[in-house]
Chain A
């Protein structure tokens, strides 16, 4: 059985002293019970970026759905694998970067389903693409996947 605790510093963000200008970094286990922390961080940062409360909640939903996909598909619900999140307030909106180290996901798998096909599941991608303005998926990382999502302020 794996012993708990004692994380190696090279695997933590504790030793990273690079500057963070209008950005926050979170490193969480890929466990559904931590999704709320990501949502709360998003709502807070979106308010600082100038988004309305409703828009902030929508951006939090899109990010939650992307993390849900990581937990379900990249990590096959293995809850101790990390999800690294960077939330960056940019001049004209907000940018969210999600990084996982799980199974690579092919871009063609990231298609929204036909909404007329009423059945449980398959709506997450539709929510993400309806809410966010720009989505860049990168599976060229040596391990895992990277997703960059951007939402611009209404005036842009």
Chain B
């Protein structure tokens, strides 16, 4: 079970995800993100502060969204990662690929 809340901001959208992101819930996360990238929403800020678990299917969903935003010169920024989620990104070395911030404020600053 996962909860998704999309908040529009001037330069794009903030997507809040709550719950476990696994093979069961990642299609729902993917659908929300693909709708936004399909509309070429310039910048996506993804709030992971209420995600306590993420597996490789969740990571794959975020990689796909990152590739889409890169494709139209947008930005995808992750923020608020819990220790377990951070570990998943480190294990896959994707912490070097994604733009990861501590807080929502830090993420908004990155948009300039």
Q: State whether A35 touches B83 (Cβ < 8 A).
A: no
Count of A interface residues, CB-CB < 8 Å = 26
A131 to chain B: which residues have CB within 8 Å? 91
Q: State whether A64 touches B87 (Cβ < 8 A).
A: no
Residue in A54, A71, A124 whose Cβ sees the most chain B Cβ within 10 Å: A124
Count of B interface residues, CB-CB < 8 Å = 23
Q: State whether A32 touches B23 (Cβ < 8 A).
A: yes
A54 to chain B: which residues have CB within 8 Å? 83-84, 87
Binary CB contact string for chain A from 125 to 144 against chain B (1 if under 8 A, 0 otherwise) = 01100110000000000000
B50: shortest Cβ distance to chain A, in Å? 16
Q: In residues 1-36 of chain B, which contact A (Cβ within 8 Å)?
A: 20, 22-24
Q: Report whether over half of chain A's contact residues are helix, strand or loop; otherwise say mixed.
A: helix
Q: State whether B91 touches A36 (Cβ < 8 A).
A: no
Interface 9-mer from A15-23, A93-101, A103-111, A113-121: A113-121
Q: State whether A35 touches B60 (Cβ < 8 A).
A: no
A122: shortest Cβ distance to chain B, in Å? 8
B88 interface residue (CB < 8 Å to A): yes
Q: State whether B22 touches A126 (Cβ < 8 A).
A: no
Q: State whether A68 touches B92 (Cβ < 8 A).
A: no
Residue of A nearest to B22 (CB): A35
B56 to chain A: which residues have CB within 8 Å? 65, 68, 121-124, 127
Q: A65-B55, A115-B92 are in contact. Are A120 and B63 (CB under 8 A)?
A: yes
A71 to chain B: which residues have CB within 8 Å? 23
Binary CB contact string for chain B from 77 to 89 against chain A (1 if under 8 A, 0 otherwise) = 0000001100110
Q: State whether B84 touches A36 (Cβ < 8 A).
A: no
Q: In residues 23-59 of chain B, which contact A (Cβ within 8 Å)?
A: 23-24, 53, 55-57, 59
Given contacts A39-B20, A57-B87, A68-B22, 4 further A-B contacts (CB under 8 A): A35-B22, A61-B84, A118-B67, A118-B97
A-B contact pairs, 30 of them (CB 8 A): A32-B24, A33-B24, A35-B22, A35-B23, A36-B20, A36-B24, A54-B83, A54-B84, A57-B87, A61-B55, A61-B84, A61-B88, A65-B55, A65-B56, A68-B23, A68-B55, A68-B56, A72-B23, A115-B92, A119-B67, A120-B61, A120-B67, A121-B60, A122-B56, A123-B56, A123-B92, A124-B55, A126-B91, A127-B88, A127-B91
Please list the residues of chain A having a beta carbon within 8 angstroms of any beta carbon in chain B: 32-33, 35-36, 39, 54, 57-58, 61, 64-65, 68, 71-72, 115, 118-124, 126-127, 130-131
